[in-house]
Amino acid sequence: MFSPINRRRFLERSIASAALLGSTRRARGADASDLKAIQAEIEKHHDESVHRLQDWIRQPSIAAENRGMTEGCDHMMRLLRDAGFTSVTKAPTGGHPGVFATLDAGAARTFGIYFMYDVKQADPAEWSSPPFSAALVDKPGLGKVLIGRGAVNQKGPEATWLAALHAFRAAGRKLPVNLVFVAEGEEEIGSPHFPEVVRRPDILAALRKCSGVYMPMPMQALDGTVTINLGAKGVIELELVSSGERWHRGPKQDLHSSNEARVDSPAWHLVQALATLVGPDGHTPAIEGFADQARPLTTEEKALIREAMKVARPCSAQAQNGLSSGSGDTSVAKRTSTNSASSLSRLMTCPIRFRRTPSLARTSLYSASMSSVTSQVKVAFSIQSRRSEALGFRTSRHNLNPAIPAASTDVSITPLR
């Protein structure tokens, strides 16, 4: 059933893709000649595919700034028609529109595809090449690369998928599955109106025919290894605010730090609250009962992890993610090893994280003459789980950990989306 539905739960249906792809190949009896013909077309039209992506990146579509959204939506719809979709329509919402499209290949099975046509904001000062110029640049160790906002997230992977459709058609081969396509233009601002797209009766009816849903993603490692993501974690984003005024014990306004010795510090209360969320390893939930209802890995999922281990290349994965082996610290090396079965299991099931995993966490402590006592501090925070709705986490709770009495904390929680 697709109702009630949100983007995360919608993408969880992609877990069925492995079975779908395997059974489809057996049903069609695809041979090497099919693949060679398609590969030949991919190579033949490589430059054309790159230019298609460059044109797309040069069209900004930033929902957070309401910049280029109509043009971005129309551009993507043209790309879909060019790739062979015969029915491509806008799906109006209370915000930026979604897109619904279908491609009937006369196949026995139908597969869903999810796109997003919006991208994050971009500060040109932080880029080595203008973010919307889509320049081809020689990168040491990599060769020629395309740099631009959306090249990785998500126009690059999506354009690559569209290039595959072009290759199928140019090779005179039919797709092994029918396609139901849905897209949104507000992913980067939390998908506030995406439920309106997938709950529309005709779209919902089409999605119910799908055996699974796939989202093109940048899943190729530096060494060329390609993996397919078969699921998505749910997410709850929160903002933790430590306020002296709301607590009625700390400062109502910022004070000079010379007063710190005689007033409570909201900043330190926030630090103490954050420390109660996880164990010493930095990722194991410390809140009693927090993930009790999260579904454990199935036997099939454990088998997939073991299979992935056969082709994993730890050196490449660690280098790509900037991970250190811990300089001889075996406990750190074990934690950061991206090719271990336990690491992959944590990636799939670990329910808690900050919005980003920073490489450097910094705290400054100044003398009394150089700083102040801040009356309110906040931190963005998110929780990920394979089924976030199963966690039973209530955003109205002020007590982050049962070990701390509710009356002794000034930390409040605000849901971000």
The span from the CA of 263 to the CA of 257, in Å, is 10
The span from the CA of 231 to the CA of 195, in Å, is 19
pLDDT band at 341 (very low <50, low <70, confident <90, very high): low
The span from the CA of 182 to the CA of 88, in Å, is 10
Per-residue pLDDT at 315: 57
The span from the CA of 30 to the CA of 49, in Å, is 25
Least confident of 126-140, 233-247, 319-333: 319-333
Q: Which residue do the tokens 């619904």 mark?
A: 100
CB 207 within 8 A of CB 199: no
Closest alpha carbon to 165 in 116, 207, 105:
105
Per-residue pLDDT at 142: 83
- Alpha-carbon Rg for the chain, nearest whole angstrom, is 24
Q: Is the pLDDT of residue 382 over 60?
A: no
Q: Is the pLDDT of residue 223 over 60?
A: yes
CA 10 vs CA 3, 13, 33, 49, 155: distances in Å: 10, 6, 35, 29, 20
51-67 residue pLDDT tens? 999 999 999 999 999 99
The span from the CA of 378 to the CA of 340, in Å, is 35
Per-residue pLDDT at 125: 95
161-179 residue pLDDT tens? 999 999 999 999 999 999 9
Q: Name the 3-class secondary structure at 294.
A: coil
253: preceding bond cis by omega (within 30 degrees): no
Q: Which residues pair with 114 in a beta bridge?
A: 182
Q: Which residues pair with 372 in a beta bridge?
A: 256
Domains of the chain with bracketed CATH: 7-214 (3.40.630.10), 233-294+351-417 (3.30.70.360), 296-349 (no CATH)
Q: Is the pLDDT of residue 265 over 60?
A: yes
Per-residue pLDDT at 282: 78
Q: Which residue do the tokens 């329509």 mark?
A: 89
Q: Is the pLDDT of residue 364 over 60?
A: no
Average pLDDT value for residue range 191-209 = 96
pLDDT band at 258 (very low <50, low <70, confident <90, very high): confident
Per-residue pLDDT at 131: 97
14-51 residue pLDDT tens? 333 333 333 333 334 456 778 899 999 999 999 999 99
**Residue 387 carries which DSSP code?**
T
Q: Is the pLDDT of residue 144 over 70?
A: yes
Mode of pairing for the β-strands spanning 135-139 and 87-91: unpaired
pLDDT band at 150 (very low <50, low <70, confident <90, very high): very high
The span from the CA of 34 to the CA of 288, in Å, is 54
Pairwise pLDDT comparison (401 vs 141), residue with the higher score: 141
Q: Is 327 exposed, middle or buried (0-12, 13-18, 19+ CB in 10 A)?
A: exposed
Q: In what order do the strands lie in the sheet with 98-103?
A: 87-91, 98-103, 178-184, 110-116, 210-214
| Residue 387: both structure tokens together | 């089924």
Q: Is the pLDDT of residue 363 over 80?
A: no
Q: H-helix or E-strand containing 258?
A: none
Mean pLDDT of the chain: 74
Q: Which residue do the tokens 């060494």 mark?
A: 223
406-415 residue pLDDT tens? 333 344 444 4
Pairwise pLDDT comparison (182 vs 268), residue with the higher score: 182
